[in-house]
Amino acid sequence: MSTGPGINAYKCICVPGTTGTYCNTNIDECQSNPCVFGNCTEGPPGSYECTCIPGYYGPNCENEIVQCQSDPCMYGNCTKDIAGFFVCKCNPGYTGQSCEIDIDECASDPCTAVDNAATCIDEPNGFSCTCSADWTDTLCDLEAVVWNVISSFWTNNTIPRDWLEALLANATISNAAWLETAWLEAFSANMTIPNANISATESIIANTTIPNA
């Protein structure tokens, strides 16, 4: 647009984005670096556009996206990587982008009972094994050996299991398990149980206080 104060005189009023006597010079709006966290691209005369780096938004990329504020990590801690995205550092036993997956420690079948009758129970950052009747130990990989004691001190009387547990406390046992009546093996003094390498002697009985039946 041109106008002037008199005959043969004029003045140019420039549209946004141009300058100069004749408005023929384009103004570089990106020269002032208006995009705080992003790249500037010139648009139509008088305008520019910001392309924000990850983690920022706004007309001038001036606002940071606080992604950890929403607590996206279910079982872990939220941090920001160098690109501005959130990263979850999972607690032991968990995985996934948001630490939402419980690692199944039972997937590798760690409860290795020979008869495959052990049950693996998945727990946070671990597991436990529930053994079948014939197996014991943490991984159910030791054969359970239990027995009953018949002593000449008590004719025709079997020592109850709760007393037998006290008896076993005074013996050196390489492999013991919870006592179940169905598994009991009777033995007499000085007899060795081969599969457990356990020797039973009268001294074991003599050194144990057992209530009268």
Question: Residues 6 or more apart from 157 whose CB is under 8 A from it?
Answer: 150, 213
For residue 164, is pLDDT > 90?
Answer: no
Query: In the prediction, which pLDDT does 145 show?
Result: 54
Of residues 59 and 112, the one with the higher pLDDT is: 59
Query: In the prediction, which pLDDT does 45 show?
Result: 78
d(CA 56, CA 61): 6
Residue 129 lies in a domain: yes
In tens, the pLDDT along 126-151 reads 999 988 777 777 888 777 654 444 44
Count the domains in the chain.
4
The dihedral through the CA atoms of 198, 199, 205, 209 has a sign that is negative
For residue 93, is pLDDT > 60?
Answer: yes
Buried b (16+ CB within 10 A) or exposed e, 39-58: ebebeeeeebebebeebbee
Q: pLDDT category, 37, cuts 50, 70, 90?
A: very high
For residue 13, is pLDDT > 80?
Answer: yes
For residue 104, is pLDDT > 50?
Answer: yes
Q: Does an H or E element contain 55, and which?
A: none
Query: In the prediction, which pLDDT does 190 show?
Result: 33
Contact 14, 27 (CB under 8 A): no
Identify the CATH number of the domain in which residue 75 sits: 2.10.25.10
Are residues 35 and 18 part of one domain? Answer: yes
Weakest mean pLDDT among 48-52, 119-123, 195-199: 195-199
Residue 87 lies in a domain: yes
Average pLDDT over residues 161-167: 47
Residue percentage of the chain with pLDDT more than 90: 20
Number of Cβ within a 10 Å radius of residue 84: 15
Query: In the prediction, which pLDDT does 79 show?
Result: 84
The bridge status of strand 148-149 relative to strand 186-187 is parallel
Are residues 191 and 158 part of one domain? Answer: yes
Are residues 159 and 121 part of one domain? Answer: no
Of residues 12 and 166, the one with the higher pLDDT is: 12
**Average pLDDT along the chain:** 68
Residue 134 domain boundaries: 106-141
Indicate yes or no: pTM above 0.85.
Answer: no
Residue 155 lies in a domain: yes
Q: pLDDT category, 7, cuts 50, 70, 90?
A: low
